[in-house]
Amino acid sequence: MPPKLVALVEDEVDILELLEAHLHQALFRTSKYEDGTSFLASISKEVPDLVILDLMLPDIDGLEICKILKKETKWANIPILMLTARSTETDKVVGLEVGADDYVTKPFSPVEVVARVKALLRRVLPRMSGKVIRIGNIVIDPSQHQVVVQGKRVNLTRSEFHILHLLASHPGRVFTRQQILDVLWGQEKAVIDRTVDVHMMNLRHKLGPAGKRLSSVHGVGYKMEEV
C-alpha cells in the first residue's frame, strides 16, 4: 500500500517546508499549495487522504474551501486539519461547524501536527449494518451513506452521519456527549469539548423541521425522539 497523501494548503513557505519535512520523516507523501485556487484545481486529479488547511489564504478563505469539500460527496469524507493563527474557542467552533475534523493553532509543534494527522487517519468509525432506518420522514441508508428527508437528499459530514445513525438506531435512548465522542473517536480524541454540540447544531439545521426529533437532555446528552 502506498504512503498516505497529505495535502498542505498554506501560504507561508517556511511552514510548508517544515510540515513537509516532518511528514516525510513520518513516511507520508505530501502535495503543497500556497493558495486555495491551485489546491481546488488539483483535487479532481488526485484526492488526498487528509488535508492540512490554513484559514487565512491569499485568495480563498480556508473556511470556504472546507465548505466546498464537504458539499461534494466524493470529497466529503476527507479529514481536514485546520491550521491557523486564530485561537479563540469561537474560531474553533466555526471551523468545526463547516466540517473540519481537528484544529491546530499557530505557533504549533510540527510533532504535534504529525501526531494529530496520524490520529485522524487511524480514526475508524463504527461499522454499521446495511439496514435502512426510517424515523418519521427521515430515511437513513448506511450502505449508501445517504440521508433523505421528505424525498430530498441531505449532505452530511462523516461525523454528522455517524451521530445521526447512532441516535436513530436507538430511538428514545439518551447518549451522553462522552459516549458520542467514544463512538466517533475511541481513544484517538483530539477535539474540543463543544465538538458534539456543534455537530448536533449542524444536524438540526441540515435536517430542517425534521431536526426537531433530535433533542437535548439538559446536563446529560442527546437522543432521537421516536414520535
Best-predicted range by mean pLDDT (16-25, 106-115, 191-200): 16-25
Express each pLDDT in 160-210 by its tens digit. 888 999 999 999 999 998 888 877 766 555 555 567 888 898 899 999 999
Position 87 confidence tier, pLDDT thresholds 50, 70, 90: low
One-letter amino acid at 95 equals G
198 or 152: which leads in pLDDT: 152
Beta strand 146-149 with 138-141 is: antiparallel
Supply the pLDDT for residue 129: 62
Would you state the pLDDT for residue 43? 93
What single DSSP character describes residue 49?
A: S
The reply to whether domains 5-122 and 133-224 share a CATH topology is: no
pLDDT-based confidence at residue 52 (cuts at 50, 70, 90): very high
Cis before 171 (ω within 30): no
pLDDT at 191: 52
Residue 44: per-residue pLDDT:
87
Neighbours of 202 (CB within 10 A): 20
The fourth-level CATH superfamily of domain 5-122 is Response regulator (3.40.50.2300)
Asked if pLDDT for residue 89 goes beyond 90, the answer is no
What span, in angstroms and rounded, lies between the C-alpha atoms of 178 and 35? 37
CA distance 138 to 213: 10
Q: Where are the domains of the chain?
A: 5-122, 133-224
pLDDT band at 23 (very low <50, low <70, confident <90, very high): very high
Fold of 133-224: Arc Repressor Mutant, subunit A (1.10.10)
Cα–Cα dist 71/68, whole Å: 5
User: What percent of the chain clears pLDDT 90, i.e. is strictly above it?
Assistant: 47
The angle subtended at Cα 95 by Cα 90 and Cα 97, nearest 5°, is 90
